[in-house]
Amino acid sequence: MMRRWLALAGVLLIAALLAFPLRQAVHDAIVVPGAYLLWVLGLVYRSLSQGIWWLIVILLVLLILGRSLAPPLPPPGRMLAKSRPPRGQVEDLADWLNKSGQGMYFKWLVANRLGKLAYQILWQRGRGKTRSVFEPLAGPDWEPAPDLQRYLESGLQGSFADFPNPRKLLASPGKTPLDYRVDEAVDFLESQMHQSHHR
């Protein structure tokens, strides 16, 4: 706040110092042309009858009303792009699966979605009892393979930045927990959902 007041005071001081030496230049460049313009406008106003001025005002009002009430027109020569229909979660997941070979980010997105699903299954089994997302995925009749457990927890609790892509162009990426087979993870979660349903 103090800096703003100091800057304002500096600007006012500079303006005051320049006001006297530049008085004649300001008079010649701004005041005289402005006065001349006002004098010409006054002459034009007095030379036209009141009927013409009322006609101009009515035409301006009609133009403003017409523009505000008219539907917007597309610019000439351009076709309006059709908006895409909204995508659902299944379509997003399918797209991520297709792109999972392109990098760690899409692998993590799939693992994150499946990890959230595992979390929701265990949350429902606990009858809505509060549990943290960062707790290990564990519960009654929850016995996934260790690699699958790491996959789901890495997706739920980790980030794609935990598994950076190799920087060297020809280097082969090392194996990470996100390289687990998605179809096996889906089969396991499906069996767990059936168990929860039969309960």
SS3 for the chain is CHHHHHHHHHHHHHHHHHHCCCHHHHHHHHHHHHHHHHHHHHHHHHHCCHHHHHHHHHHHHHHHHHHHHCCCCCCCCCCCCCCCCCCCHHHHHHHHHHHHHHCHHHHHHHHHHHHHHHHHHHHHHCCCCCCCCCCCCCCCCCCCCHHHHHHHHHHHHCCHHHCCCCCCCCCCCCCCHHHCCHHHHHHHHHHHHHHHHHC
186: its two tokens: 């889906």
What integer pLDDT is reported at residue 60 of this predicted model? Answer: 93
Q: How many CB atoms lie within 10 A of CB 63?
A: 10
Per mean pLDDT, which range of 22-26, 90-94, 163-167, 188-192 is the poorest?
163-167
pLDDT of 138-191, one tens digit each?
Answer: 887 788 888 888 888 888 888 877 776 655 555 555 678 888 888 888 888 888
What integer pLDDT is reported at residue 78 of this predicted model? Answer: 60
Mean pLDDT of the region 1-16: 83
Mean pLDDT of the region 77-104: 73
Per mean pLDDT, which range of 11-25, 50-64, 73-87 is the poorest?
73-87
Taking alpha carbons only, the member of 96, 122, 107 closest to residue 189 is 122
